[in-house]
Amino acid sequence: MRIGFKELANLAYAIHYQNSFVIKPPFSDQHYMRHSMLSAFVSQQLAEHLKLDSGLAFLAALMRDIGIYLLAVDDREKYVKVMEITDYDISRLINAEVQMFETAHPLMGARLLQDWKFPPDVIMGVAYHHSPEKAPDEFKAFAYLTFLAEQGVFRAGFENGIADLPEIEQYEASAELLVALEYFDLSLEQFDQSIKQGLEDADSVNI
């Protein structure tokens, strides 16, 4: 009901994919999955407010970090080094991944979802969720939405097992966050209200 029947088969691929790994990542599966699920509910709430497709929004936020899993199980030792370089600061994660793997998780995730024939809005939302301003115009809405969903869950105090917001951004909105809010003509108060409602929705189904 939340993501729509046409996306259900795609999601089944993802669940099967994660469960098929023999090698597990060098971070907490529990934190990683909870952050992804909470982001999906926040994204859905934002999409409903913004009159975007809430099913695609849910799916894009849920799948946005699957590239982290790909990199981490491909080479656990390298990803441990990524985490050391990142030093639990999400703003350093992309550069650390590029330094160690010569690629980064948004691109890896988007390529996988493209192979699985996910909808373009989902693929591009994942591909550009760390750099929504660079997304093609027709996909900017989903790129900014997926960015906001991730930021919202960090802002609510839930890290993802790999990194978190820089300390100052836990109390003050970053320039990047303000640009994303301006794209949708959202106030910080409206954003925080959507975060709260999304987390309440997740809590209602025991996430």
Beta-strand runs (E) in the chain: none
- Hey, what's the torsion of the CAs at 132, 130, 171, 57, to 10 degrees? 70
Measure the CA–CA gap between 201 and 207, rounded to whole angstroms: 9
pTM for the model stands at: 0.91
Crossing angle of helices 66-74/76-86, nearest 10°?
120
pLDDT tens digits, 160-192:
999 999 888 888 999 999 999 999 999 999 999
Comparing 66 with 205, the larger pLDDT belongs to 66
| 3-state class (DSSP) for residue 86 | helix
Measure the CA–CA gap between 56 and 137, rounded to whole angstroms: 17
Quote the pLDDT of residue 68: 96
Measure the CA–CA gap between 102 and 104, rounded to whole angstroms: 7
Measure the CA–CA gap between 138 and 79, rounded to whole angstroms: 33
189 φ/ψ sector (left φ>0, alpha ψ -120 to 50, else beta): alpha
User: In the predicted model, is pLDDT for residue 207 greater than 70?
Assistant: yes
Buried (b) or exposed (e) across 89-125, using 16+ Cβ within 10 A?
A: ebebbbebbeebbeebbbbbbbbbbeebebbebbbbb
DSSP state of 89: B
Quote the pLDDT of residue 16: 65
Crossing angle of helices 105-115/93-101, nearest 10°?
70
User: In the predicted model, is pLDDT for residue 118 greater than 70?
Assistant: yes
pLDDT tens digits, 9-67:
656 656 665 666 667 899 998 899 899 989 999 999 999 999 999 989 999 999 999 99
